[in-house]
Homo-oligomer: A and B are copies of this chain.
Amino acid sequence: MTSSPVPHMSSDELRRHGHAVVDWIADYLDRVVELPVQSRVEPGWVRSRLPAHPPQTGEPFAAVLRDLDEIVVPGLTHWQSPNFFGYFPAETSGPAILGDLLSAGLGVQGMSWATSPACTELETHVLDWMVELLGLPERFLSSGPGGGVIQDSASSAALCTLAAARERAVARHGVDPTLVVAYTSTETHSSVAKGARVAGVGHVRAVEVDGLHAMRPDALEESMTADRRAGLVPAFVCATIGTTSSTAIDPVRAIAQVAARHDVWVHVDAAYAGTAALCPELRHHFDGLELVDSYVFNPHKWMLTNFDCSCLWVADRAALVGALGILPEYLKNAATTSGEVIDYRDWQIPLGRRFRALKLWMVLRHYGAAGLRAHVREHIELCRWFEARIDADPRFELCAPAPFSLVCFRCVVGGGGTPTDGDGVTADLLAALNGSGRIFLTHTRLAGKLVLRMAIGATMTERHHVEAAWELISELADAALADAGLAGSE
């Protein structure tokens, strides 16, 4: 069929191997519940099983699938296990997996409208759909001066908006970037501090939080006023709806009002929690978004869409493009020159871009709004159930409100010790849980105390998984307390 000396995979082989890979994935998802959730390999185990030198000639496809089973799978922590409760979820789903597959198969580049119009237009369209589905303000629709774009992550979205805010401040105040200040809270995701460092923003303030781990607008006001008095230029504040440690909710409206007085760009990061806005009964957590400059949420966390798919909206796309747009001769084309189209390369750091809208489109069409809402409500309900178990059990304490599907808790040690006396037992419990291979959780610190995070949100997690997790936690907590010579349930 081909005269080429290159051993390309023929289309017949692609069909055969492709079917085998699809079946392998379906099998994997069927059996992942039986695998130890956290990988048990030691550092170097995977590499020690790989050949030291690359293959000189091609190998049969079956050899790769065999090594997948024997070398790769044991080295995975299984994020798709229904017993994965760590970090935040990174949900996949059938339609999203197949959307990613189609994107790979088409292999088009969406850096400019002209390089594949459908890649750009489907993205713009689906992001407008999401504005409607999430009840976001009209300012984020592409029909006005704003619009949405898919980024790889909320970290990149933070960096892009920070760069735009920095440029706006520098232009308005004629100062250099070392005088620019960005504001986060002590609970804001580390990506903002990282973005500020990359962007050469001179100052980052971590504003104090209240007892519920939410940013204090009065402290923000004080900090901005003090900075201006010192000759600095407040330029950017990131409010979070659903912080990483505890899903705390910063008061966006009050923060935006403070920011408006100081002419500061307000970015809202709802990377995990943003999916909850699908449900009208949860929208009160998202109050004030009509006052903000940019908003990001990640369908790749809790909305059944494979990583990477982070949706960023801006109220003023010109500010973003002004900071990130560059047009060399080799990218010029008639559509760009006409000004009638969006060139998403100017909305992001990389030049190239995959057709990521396909998977989001396929998720929306497969589930429909009703299906997605049912998904969120199921996890919220499981969270309520688990939270009630913790709350009713004297061996544990809740460490933060649980407005979405994350419960923060720790072991309680009786008596009049210091507040962190429970840290040791809590750490032992975490080690025992993860060591069991039956579930996987991660930790954080809140107000100095070690806290376990039960993040309910894997695609396949159902009630019986959460019930079994609770039983295991209960059982291993007894053991941890006994080892420590304590009886938590007294």
Chain A 75-112 near chain B by CB (<8 Å), digits 1 or 0: 11111100000010011111111101111111111000
Neighbouring B residues of A155 by C-beta, 8 Å: 349-352
Known: A22-B18, A64-B362, A106-B76. Contact between A58 and B371, CB under 8 A?
yes
Decide if A191 is an interface residue (CB 8 Å cutoff). Answer: yes
Neighbouring B residues of A202 by C-beta, 8 Å: 176
Are A104 and B117 in contact (CB-based, < 8 A)? Answer: no
Chain A 426-445 near chain B by CB (<8 Å), digits 1 or 0: 00000000000000001111
Neighbouring B residues of A386 by C-beta, 8 Å: none
Are B166 and A109 in contact (CB-based, < 8 A)? Answer: no
Residue of B nearest to A50 (CB): B125
**B-contacting residues, A324-374, CB 8 Å:** 324, 326-332, 335, 338, 340-341, 349-352, 354, 358, 361-362, 364-371, 374
**B-contacting residues, A187-210, CB 8 Å:** 189-191, 193-195, 197-202
A365 and B368 alpha carbons, distance in the complex (Å): 40
Known: A308-B354, A351-B191. Contact between A93 and B371, CB under 8 A?
no
Decide if A68 is an interface residue (CB 8 Å cutoff). Answer: yes
Which of A39-47, A223-231, A260-268 touches B?
Answer: A39-47
Decide if A8 is an interface residue (CB 8 Å cutoff). Answer: yes
Q: Choose among A27, A244, A351 the residue with the greatest number of B CB atoms under 10 Å from its CB.
A: A351
Instruction: Please tell me how many copies of the chain the complex holds.
Output: 2
Decide if A9 is an interface residue (CB 8 Å cutoff). Answer: yes
Are B8 and A459 in contact (CB-based, < 8 A)? Answer: yes
Neighbouring B residues of A358 by C-beta, 8 Å: 72
Decide if A258 is an interface residue (CB 8 Å cutoff). Answer: no
Decide if A152 is an interface residue (CB 8 Å cutoff). Answer: yes
Are A365 and B97 in contact (CB-based, < 8 A)? Answer: no
Are B43 and A335 in contact (CB-based, < 8 A)? Answer: yes
Residue of B nearest to A342 (CB): B43
Closest beta carbon of chain B to A48's beta carbon, Å: 9
Decide if A389 is an interface residue (CB 8 Å cutoff). Answer: no
Are A100 and B100 in contact (CB-based, < 8 A)? Answer: yes
Are A71 and B329 in contact (CB-based, < 8 A)? Answer: no
Of B50, B121, B177, B307, which is within 8 A of A200 by CB? B177
Known: A108-B79, A307-B107. Contact between A25 and B18, CB under 8 A?
yes
Chain A 162-200 near chain B by CB (<8 Å), digits 1 or 0: 010010000000001110000000000111011101111
Are A76 and B108 in contact (CB-based, < 8 A)? Answer: yes
Are A114 and B77 in contact (CB-based, < 8 A)? Answer: yes
Residue of B nearest to A458 (CB): B107
A341 and B21 alpha carbons, distance in the complex (Å): 30
A178 and B201 alpha carbons, distance in the complex (Å): 11
Are A5 and B374 in contact (CB-based, < 8 A)? Answer: yes
Neighbouring B residues of A335 by C-beta, 8 Å: 43
Neighbouring B residues of A222 by C-beta, 8 Å: none
Decide if A26 is an interface residue (CB 8 Å cutoff). Answer: yes
Residue of B nearest to A200 (CB): B200
Neighbouring B residues of A117 by C-beta, 8 Å: 39, 41, 43, 45-46, 75-77
21 A-B pairs, CB-CB below 8 angstroms?
A: A5-B378, A6-B378, A7-B366, A9-B95, A14-B25, A14-B97, A19-B22, A21-B98, A41-B118, A54-B129, A57-B370, A68-B102, A76-B119, A77-B117, A104-B306, A155-B349, A155-B350, A163-B198, A197-B323, A198-B324, A330-B453
Interface contacts beyond A18-B97, A18-B101: sample of 10 additional A-B pairs, CB < 8 Å, sorted by A = A4-B378, A14-B22, A21-B102, A46-B121, A54-B132, A72-B122, A80-B108, A97-B105, A176-B202, A245-B330
